[in-house]
Amino acid sequence: MVKPYNQMKQLGDNSTEEKILDAAKEVFMKHGLYGARMQDIADTAGINKALLHYYFRNKEKMFDKVFDGALAKFFEQLDVFSNNELSVKKRLFIYIDNIIEFYAEYPQMSMFIIKEIGNNPEIFKEKVHVAKKNKTLRLIHVLEDGMKNGEIKKIDSAMFMINLQSLCSFPFLASPMFKYSLKAQGKDWEKDFNSEKLKQSVKNFVEFTLGK
């Protein structure tokens, strides 16, 4: 017998499973695997704690689901580097736009991933292998090609990547601190910071560092 339409699993809307996943994302991002409390997740989702186990069996499995989703989205951002039709700088600019919009939506993401790598490098390795499938992490590779064919200046590609990631992700991660710190100096985070400004600032950095 076929189930009626409104009883089928409806992910993406406000089905219970989705509510739980959203709540879990929020709480896990804030407190990590150890620090998160099942009751806290249940309260955030507005449901009974037993339902968490009904849908996800246990805490670790739930965490895995959240983490896998986060990781997949994270790696999607790297796809642009595989597009060899575009110039190195063009690819970098697109990446900057995408990754900053991504972090604006998931400010805790990088910390979440960093913590997980630290806690469990082996499992992470395996997950990444699944997540990226046949894609490759090409940022550095693309840079070094660009240097060889004279498209960009000769730079320290590893340090460039580190600087770039720092500029793009830390502002969102540290927004509570910046909010506070700016207010103490007579500035206003909401006014003085936004994604568009940051994009421009990072692009300036890239232009200065790679431009010939």
Partner DNA sequence: ATATGGTTTAACCATTTTGTTAATTGCAAA
Partner DNA sequence: TTTGCAATTAACAAAATGGTTAAACCATAT
Site residues for a copy of itself per CB under 8 A? 30-37, 110-111, 113-114, 117-118, 121, 124-125, 128, 137-141, 156-159, 161-163, 165-167, 169-171, 173-174, 176-178, 180-182, 184-187, 192-193, 197-198, 201, 205, 208
# chain residues binding DNA, by CB under 7 A:
24
Q: Which of 30, 53, 73, 115 binds DNA (CB under 7 A)?
A: 53
Residue 37 binds DNA, judged by CB under 7 A: yes
Residue 43 binds DNA, judged by CB under 7 A: no
Q: List the single partner that 16 binds among a copy of itself, DNA, none, CB under 5 to 8 Å by kind.
A: DNA
User: From the CB of 35, what's the least distance to DNA, in Å?
Assistant: 9
User: Number of helices (H) and strands (E), helices first, in the chain?
Assistant: 12, 0
User: From the CB of 135, what's the least distance to a copy of itself, in Å?
Assistant: 11
* 175: its two tokens: 């927004």
Positive or negative CA dihedral for 32, 35, 40, 41? positive
Distance between CA atoms of 149 and 163, rounded to whole angstroms? 23
Binding positions for DNA, 182-211, rule CB under 7 A: none
* Amino acid in position 149: N
- C-alpha 45 chain-centroid distance: 22
If you search the block for the tokens 């409390």, which residue do you land on? 37
Residue 91 binds DNA, judged by CB under 7 A: no
Distance between CA atoms of 167 and 179, rounded to whole angstroms? 17
Residue 7 binds DNA, judged by CB under 7 A: yes
* Amino acid in position 83: N
Residue 16 binds DNA, judged by CB under 7 A: yes
Compute how many other C-beta atoms are within 10 angstroms of the C-beta atom of residue 14.
9
Residue 134 binds DNA, judged by CB under 7 A: no
Q: List the single partner that 1 binds among a copy of itself, DNA, none, CB under 5 to 8 Å by kind.
A: DNA
If the CB atoms of residues 36 and 45 are measured against a copy of itself, the closer one turns out to be 36
* 83: its two tokens: 């597009």
If the CB atoms of residues 5 and 34 are measured against a copy of itself, the closer one turns out to be 34
Helix (H, G, I), strand (E, B) or coil at 37: coil
Residue 82, CA distances (Å) to 71, 78, 108, 125, 210 in order:
18, 8, 26, 21, 19
Positions touching DNA (CB under 7 A) are 1-4, 6-7, 9, 16, 34, 36-39, 47-51, 53-54, 57-60
